[in-house]
């Protein structure tokens, strides 16, 4: 089969590699498309190795059709269209994945678009709902509102009945966020999100903040929190070390939580199997009835993976970037 290989200098090329097959508890998927994530850019640069035992090939989500079933897999059929959450291996013609991480194709979603759903859907549901406990009428602040995660999170939060505030860096991106249902849109280049959130809430602040920036926003996120609020950090684009004022955190009875999806085990409490099952049960019906839709900002042939990475790194694209095989 063929797959994208990262050279020592981080450049990506489409090359012939060894064929793979499904282990007893796995499904072999013939890949139709693969979603592109910032973790993929880090892995290509040698800064984010896959978890032990995972494929060294880049790629955390795919869509395609079932090509082979492992001996212990009974709930799927060869030829069935699916999408899947991966620990690695997605930038290839075939990928083997634990059956518990495979999802049915959502109703009404084309195969290429479905490749942009598993990672964002599992990230958003596990963090906003399972970890932060977002409920109707609460306010969630989403940094990077026009990103793949942000565009999905806006829609899911609105479907749950929550109010949504977002930050983004351009008028076009903020317009997209409003179209998707954001109530409060903040251009971080010329507005202070702490002041704006306080103004929009009568000084109360946000109940939940989903943060991609990490250290750069740590102190200001705490300032923007409501009493009893939760900051969930899922990215480190703004650095890995920041200063936290514990007195402010205690005064608000608030929490700062860091999470990761790729390194979780398949089974067990909080494992990928549990998250995938929750997404299938709760998010897929939102997609079927039109409350949530995949936002695809660019679709390129997989041989142009390098251009796709450059596009995502540029910050010029909104929504997901997808590679078609």
- Written as six digits, the tokens of 210 are 């989903």
Mind listing the pLDDT tens digit for each residue in 37-71? 999 999 999 999 999 999 999 999 999 999 999 99
Q: What domain range includes position 240?
A: 121-258
What gap in Å lies between CA 298 and CA 321, rounded to an integer?
5
**58: Cβ–Cβ under 8 A, 6 or more apart, which residues?**
4, 6, 12, 40, 43, 44, 88, 90, 91, 305
Residues 99 and 126 reside in one and the same domain: no
What gap in Å lies between CA 71 and CA 123, rounded to an integer?
30
- The domain tally of the chain equals 2
Residues 243 and 130 reside in one and the same domain: yes
Q: How far is CA 280 from the centre of its chain?
A: 15
User: Averaged over 77-98, what is the pLDDT?
Assistant: 98
Residues 112 and 138 reside in one and the same domain: no
What's the chain's average pLDDT?
A: 97
Q: Is residue 281 part of a domain?
A: no
Q: Is residue 269 part of a domain?
A: no
DSSP 3-state helix, strand, coil percentages of the chain (rounded to 5)? 30, 30, 40
Residues 10 and 80 reside in one and the same domain: yes
Mind listing the pLDDT tens digit for each residue in 296-312? 999 999 999 999 999 99
pLDDT of residue 8: 83
Residues 66 and 156 reside in one and the same domain: no
Q: Is residue 221 part of a domain?
A: yes
Residue 275: pLDDT band (50, 70, 90) is very high
Residues 216 and 131 reside in one and the same domain: yes
Mind listing the pLDDT tens digit for each residue in 182-228? 999 999 999 999 999 999 999 999 999 999 999 999 999 999 999 99
Among candidates 220, 280, 211, 266, which has minimal Cα distance to 245? 220
What gap in Å lies between CA 200 and CA 254, rounded to an integer?
20
Residues 76 and 204 reside in one and the same domain: no
Q: Is residue 146 part of a domain?
A: yes
What gap in Å lies between CA 158 and CA 180, rounded to an integer?
9
Q: Is residue 175 part of a domain?
A: yes
Residues 127 and 113 reside in one and the same domain: no
Q: Is residue 282 part of a domain?
A: no
**184: Cβ–Cβ under 8 A, 6 or more apart, which residues?**
163, 164, 165, 166, 196, 197, 200
Q: Is residue 280 part of a domain?
A: no
Structural domain ending residue among the three candidates 258, 281, 306: 258
Mind listing the pLDDT tens digit for each residue in 7-26? 888 899 999 999 999 999 99
Q: Is residue 287 part of a domain?
A: no
Residues 227 and 138 reside in one and the same domain: yes
């Amino acid at each position: 089969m063929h797959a994208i290989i990262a050279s020592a200098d981080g450049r990506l090329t489409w090359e012939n590699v060894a064929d793979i097959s499904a282990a007893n508890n796995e499904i072999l998927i013939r890949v139709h498309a693969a979603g592109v994530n910032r973790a993929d850019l880090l892995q290509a640069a040698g800064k984010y190795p896959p978890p032990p035992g995972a494929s060294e090939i880049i790629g955390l989500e795919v869509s395609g059709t079932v090509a082979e079933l492992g001996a212990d897999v009974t709930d799927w059929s060869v030829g069935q269209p699916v999408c899947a959450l991966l620990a690695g291996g997605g930038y290839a013609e075939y990928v083997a994945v634990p059956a518990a991480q495979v999802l049915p194709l959502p109703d009404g979603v084309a195969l290429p678009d479905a490749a942009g759903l598993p990672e964002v859907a599992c990230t958003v549901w596990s963090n906003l709902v399972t970890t932060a406990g977002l409920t109707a009428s609460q306010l969630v602040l989403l940094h990077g509102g026009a990103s793949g995660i942000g565009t999905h999170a806006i829609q899911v939060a609105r479907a749950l009945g929550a109010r949504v505030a977002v930050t983004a860096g351009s008028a076009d991106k903020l317009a997209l966020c409003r179209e998707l249902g954001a109530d409060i849109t903040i251009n971080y280049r010329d507005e202070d999100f702490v002041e704006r959130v306080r103004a929009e809430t009568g000084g109360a602040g946000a109940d939940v903040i989903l943060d991609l920036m990490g250290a750069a926003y740590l102190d200001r996120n705490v300032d923007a929190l409501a009493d009893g609020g939760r900051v969930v950090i899922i990215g480190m684009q703004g650095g890995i070390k920041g200063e936290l004022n514990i007195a402010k955190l205690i005064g608000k009875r608030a929490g700062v939580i860091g999470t990761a999806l790729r390194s979780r085990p398949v089974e067990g409490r909080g494992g990928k199997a549990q998250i995938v099952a929750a997404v299938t049960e709760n998010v897929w019906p939102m997609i079927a009835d039109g409350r949530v839709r995949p936002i695809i900002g660019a679709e390129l042939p997989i041989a142009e993976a390098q251009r796709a990475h450059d596009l995502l790194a540029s910050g010029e694209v909104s929504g997901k970037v997808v590679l078609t095989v």
